[in-house]
Amino acid sequence: MIVKDEEEMLPRCLESVRGVVDEIIVVDTGSSDRSVAIAQEYGASVVEFAWCDDFAAARNAGLEQASGDWILFLDADEALEATAREQIRSWTEVSGCDGLFLNIHNYTGSGQQGATVNPVLRLFRSHPEHRFKGRIHEQIAAAICERNPEAAFHITDMVIHHYGYQTVVVERKDKVNRNVRLLQQAVEEEPDQPFHHYNLGVEYLRVGEAEKALESFVKARKMIDPAVTSYAHLLLKYEVRCLEHLERWQEALECVDAALELFPEYTDLMHHRAICADAVGDTDAAEMWLRKAVQQGPPPAIFHTEEGMGTYQTWHTLGRLLEGKADLEGAVDAYVETVRAKSSLVPPLYRLFRIMRVSGQEGQIPAVMESRFAMSSEEALSKVLGILEQCHCYDAALELLGELPSASSGEQREKRSIAEAVLHVQRGDWSSARLKLETVKRKKGSFAPMAARWLERLQWLSGKEGQEMKFQDAFTRWLMNGSEVGEGRESASEEESGSTGWGKLAVEMGNRSNLENAATLEGVADADHAELYDGWQALGLMLEGCVQSGRWQALHGLIQRGRQLLDEVHDATEKKLAKERSQGEQVERDIIDAEKLIREPFTGASDTLSGTSWLVKGLIRAADHHLAQLTSDTEQVEPGKRQRLSYWPVIQHIRLELPGADGFEG
């Protein structure tokens, strides 16, 4: 393998082959970090090589030193999969052929969006004539076939994970720019090589330069014979993707149709054909193509495919399409299939629950979960619980909560009670919430302080105006203070964070956004639960409760209070910035005022983004509540005959599409 400054990735890579290969050779092209040292720790032989813009040359330098019968080549940002470790020996011993294809799973973006899968030649018999060719995307197959025109290759199902194109890494390594540069060079040197144009197009597409990518792909396509070019299907698919990106739908349609003629079993093309049909408004054709794609399933192994084509991705796209056509039943089925195909996916569950809630079928959620999903583990149940809560299906969540296996410890019991109480708060059933919270408070366990805080908040919500109360909870005190400027009193002592300064804000915000998205106790370290259900989130939960119970005056009051605080924080920030800008020109009094305001009335108050998010959520929920009431069926005089507003379809559509939790955060 070739490395340059790969100290981060190298350990994982070398660890994955430890004990599997007999010898590791690392060609170092000038690392200034610990790469060489790490390689030596794993017992690798390190070959120093002066980089000359030629990947093939560098690899060949390594090959020269190899003493094994078979060569496996990897990049530092790759790792051999666990099962492949066991299989390599058997494959190489049994196989009579000259080379073996492995499947690279490429993880892009943030890692959430699945992987693309490419079969590539990564294992080959060692021989002096087997040397790489090509500055970039260096190839070995050519040399093997030259030496033995009858050379045979096997396609295996062994997997190599490739992490190098994950967003953060790419930015750091500036890989793409380097690739573009090298490929442009290659294109200049060998303009008649379609493979260079193709690769250049791929790099352009990777950075979103669709126009340039398209140019390259078209050039490449004109030079190749699709019947014999191994990457022809990919080339055509990428061309379609460019046209889609540029929204040149007619051309995309023509392109994908032509491609489908050549490769009728290539599922990815069917999926894209559907996308194009939908874009031009032909939703029926879109549905047909998606169904065709799932029937086909993943394409035959010779095709490089994107993970999920013909399975979960296609099902999910079908679900969205059917939602748009108001075929909610069909959409539900499609989402169920999506989860079946990949159980770790959450977005389809969000859509599923929302559909059922909007169409008045929330009551059936538990039954659907039972009959169509296998949810045995507590972990799975907890995850679903969290999702139900975020989708505002409180009744279903409560039912599911009841089905959890009994708590293993007192602490866990209290944790669950708090979760249940919070569900009741959001339902607007504050008396039930109070009952649960009081129990937890009495236990005086680690959750007692949180319970106490919430009891105060509920007290404030249900209390009369002007009632003289002494509240411990900073948040409740802030609510009490009404229109007074936040005095920045010390938060209650049990909170670890206390009042924060501007400096700590970034760290706090980072933690908080994780907590918000969880919105439940899932995956939160116990030490952190002081910040859970607090701050702006507390406001959000109370807003939801007011909406659900129809207490619109309280709702308006809370919203106003929240907006007020946002303005105050904004003003304080402005003042501080102004102060920083005009050093020393600020009047003493102003500085003091600004600093007073900087002290947050409650933890996280100065995070206006969070505040806005929670307020917006509450407002959207209020709108949804009214829209729901508009579409609720009312019984007419004749029993069984219901009168509906004629425009309920547009309302249902809006309710399905309002912004809300969708599982894609974080």
Partner 1 sequence: MASSLSLHPCERFGQSLVELERYEEAHLLLSEETQRYPAYADLHLIYGEVLERQGLQERAYRAYARACNCGSSPNDHGRSGGGEAVVKAFYVTEAGSCSYRAYTSMARLAQQRGFGQEAVRLYELALEHLSTYRPAWMGLADALQQQGVSDESIADRLLHLAHRLHQIHVTTDHADQMNRPHPSLGKETKILLMHMLYALANCGAYKQALLLLGGEASHIHIPVGDQLHWMLCAGQVTDAWNLAQSSWGEADREDHKRTSFSSVITSGAEDAADMSLQSDERSDWALACWASGRRLPSSFFAKVSPLERGMWKVADRLLFEYKPAALSASSSTAPVPAVLDGQLLQWSEPVQMIARQLVARAIQSGHLVIAQQLHERLVRIMSDPERTETEIRRNYAGLLHQHGYTMIAAEMLIQCMTEGELDAEGLFCLGETLYSKGHLDQALSLLEQALEQKPDFSEARAGAAICYLQMALGLIRQERIRSSEVRVLADQQLALEKQLRIAEGIPWRTVYHAKERRNHHAGTSASETADSGRADLSVHDRQG
Which residues form the interface with partner 1 (CB under 8 A)? 281, 284, 552-553, 556, 559-560, 563, 566, 570, 608-609, 612-613, 615-616, 619-620, 622-624, 626-627, 629-630, 634, 644-651, 653-654, 657-659, 665
Nearer to partner 1 by Cβ, of 361 and 608: the residue is 608
What is the spatial distance between Cα 386 and Cα 364, in angstroms, rounded to a whole number? 18
Nearer to partner 1 by Cβ, of 177 and 643: the residue is 643
What is the spatial distance between Cα 199 and Cα 243, in angstroms, rounded to a whole number? 17
Nearer to partner 1 by Cβ, of 37 and 650: the residue is 650
For residue 205, the minimal CB distance to partner 1 (Å) is: 21
Strand partners, 103: 119, 159
Nearer to partner 1 by Cβ, of 226 and 660: the residue is 660
> In whole angstroms, how far apart are CA 488 and each of 246, 375, 485?
52, 47, 9
Nearer to partner 1 by Cβ, of 507 and 577: the residue is 577
**Number of Cβ atoms within 10 Å of the Cβ of 186:** 21
Backbone angles phi, psi at 558, to 5 degrees: -65, -40
Q: How far apart are the first and last CA of the chain?
A: 34
Backbone angles phi, psi at 182, to 5 degrees: -65, -40
Nearer to partner 1 by Cβ, of 255 and 622: the residue is 622
What is the spatial distance between Cα 266 and Cα 288, in angstroms, rounded to a whole number? 16
> In whole angstroms, how far apart are CA 225 and each of 137, 222, 228?
20, 8, 6
For residue 284, the minimal CB distance to partner 1 (Å) is: 7
What is the spatial distance between Cα 545 and Cα 610, in angstroms, rounded to a whole number? 19
Q: Are 80 and 15 in contact (CB under 8 A)?
A: no
Nearer to partner 1 by Cβ, of 498 and 557: the residue is 557
What is the spatial distance between Cα 143 and Cα 490, in angstroms, rounded to a whole number? 74
For residue 645, the minimal CB distance to partner 1 (Å) is: 6
Nearer to partner 1 by Cβ, of 393 and 566: the residue is 566
For residue 653, the minimal CB distance to partner 1 (Å) is: 7
Nearest to 192 by CA among 224, 149, 233: 224
Only one residue has tokens 């996916």, namely 345
For residue 539, the minimal CB distance to partner 1 (Å) is: 13
What is the spatial distance between Cα 628 and Cα 626, in angstroms, rounded to a whole number? 5
Nearer to partner 1 by Cβ, of 376 and 646: the residue is 646
**Number of Cβ atoms within 10 Å of the Cβ of 580:** 9
Quick one: tokens of 528? 């952190």
For residue 622, the minimal CB distance to partner 1 (Å) is: 4
For residue 119, the minimal CB distance to partner 1 (Å) is: 35
For residue 615, the minimal CB distance to partner 1 (Å) is: 6
Nearest to 345 by CA among 311, 395, 394: 311
For residue 431, the minimal CB distance to partner 1 (Å) is: 23
Nearest to 417 by CA among 432, 396, 428: 432
Number of H helices, E strands in the chain: 29, 11
Residue type, 234: L
Nearer to partner 1 by Cβ, of 326 and 367: the residue is 326
For residue 620, the minimal CB distance to partner 1 (Å) is: 5
User: Which H or E run includes 407?
Assistant: none
What is the spatial distance between Cα 393 and Cα 315, in angstroms, rounded to a whole number? 24
Q: Are 451 and 421 in contact (CB under 8 A)?
A: yes
The 3-state DSSP class for residue 35 equals: helix
Nearer to partner 1 by Cβ, of 279 and 630: the residue is 630
From the number of C-beta atoms within 10 Å of its C-beta (0-12, 13-18, 19+), residue 161 rates as buried
Q: Are 206 and 165 in contact (CB under 8 A)?
A: yes
Nearest to 351 by CA among 366, 367, 334, 376: 334
Nearer to partner 1 by Cβ, of 301 and 559: the residue is 559
For residue 315, the minimal CB distance to partner 1 (Å) is: 23
Q: Are 369 and 332 in contact (CB under 8 A)?
A: no
Nearer to partner 1 by Cβ, of 269 and 565: the residue is 565
Only one residue has tokens 């933690």, namely 511
For residue 63, the minimal CB distance to partner 1 (Å) is: 45
Residue 129 has what DSSP assignment? T
Nearer to partner 1 by Cβ, of 95 and 361: the residue is 361
For residue 257, the minimal CB distance to partner 1 (Å) is: 20
Residue type, 536: W
For residue 20, the minimal CB distance to partner 1 (Å) is: 42
Nearer to partner 1 by Cβ, of 86 and 665: the residue is 665
Only one residue has tokens 């229109």, namely 483
For residue 574, the minimal CB distance to partner 1 (Å) is: 10
Nearer to partner 1 by Cβ, of 344 and 553: the residue is 553
For residue 516, the minimal CB distance to partner 1 (Å) is: 12
What is the spatial distance between Cα 457 and Cα 451, in angstroms, rounded to a whole number? 10
Q: Are 304 and 234 in contact (CB under 8 A)?
A: yes
